[in-house]
Amino acid sequence: MINYRIQNRFIISLSFMIAIILQIIPLPIRTCIFYPSWVLLTFIYWTSVFPYLFNLRIIFILGIFIDLIIGTTLGVHALAFIVISYFLIVLKLHLFLKLAIWYQILIIMLLSLFVKIIIFLLNFLVIHISFQSEIFWNAIVDGIIWPVISFLIKKNC
């Protein structure tokens, strides 16, 4: 039983490291619109599989780490990840992995859009940025890439 837990934590940590590396790969400005949120998708997957594994401290540290790496306002991703984990746990959205892939894609698009709107609103309040329509494209790309991420993580578990 202990070896199984250690193996799960290793796989979860490895998948987050890969997601963080993919998240920080520099891209040309034109293609940034179509770049998925790797860490968010990995976080949603693992929170759906193990809803009570991530406590608020781990989620907060992950969000702060993403803010530091990406260079956004400190705490924005942390708050967005905490809100999403709340919705995943309280609304029992972890059961969505048992739904058809089309429903999963739709839920991922909505969750991703919700996170992007939270991040935009917090950045708007702090640094007064203007609205960019690319958050809609990011949510669509996150939904499209979800089956690939879900399959790859399931395959390696």
pLDDT string in tens for the chain (157-residue length): 556 666 788 889 999 999 999 998 888 877 777 889 999 999 999 988 888 787 888 889 999 999 999 888 899 999 999 999 888 888 877 778 888 899 999 999 999 999 999 999 998 998 888 887 778 888 999 999 999 998 988 887 6
Q: Are 84 and 111 in contact (CB under 8 A)?
A: yes
Which two tokens mark 20? 């963080």
Cβ atoms of 39 and 66 within 8 Å: the answer is yes
Look at residue 82 in the predicted model and tell me its pLDDT. Answer: 94
Q: How many CB atoms lie within 10 A of CB 41?
A: 23
Q: What span, in angstroms and rounded, lies between the C-alpha atoms of 29 and 32?
A: 5
Q: How many Cα neighbours within 13 Å face the side chain of 46?
A: 23
Residue 135 in tokens: 């958050």
pLDDT of residue 50: 85
What is the predicted pLDDT for the residue at 7? 75
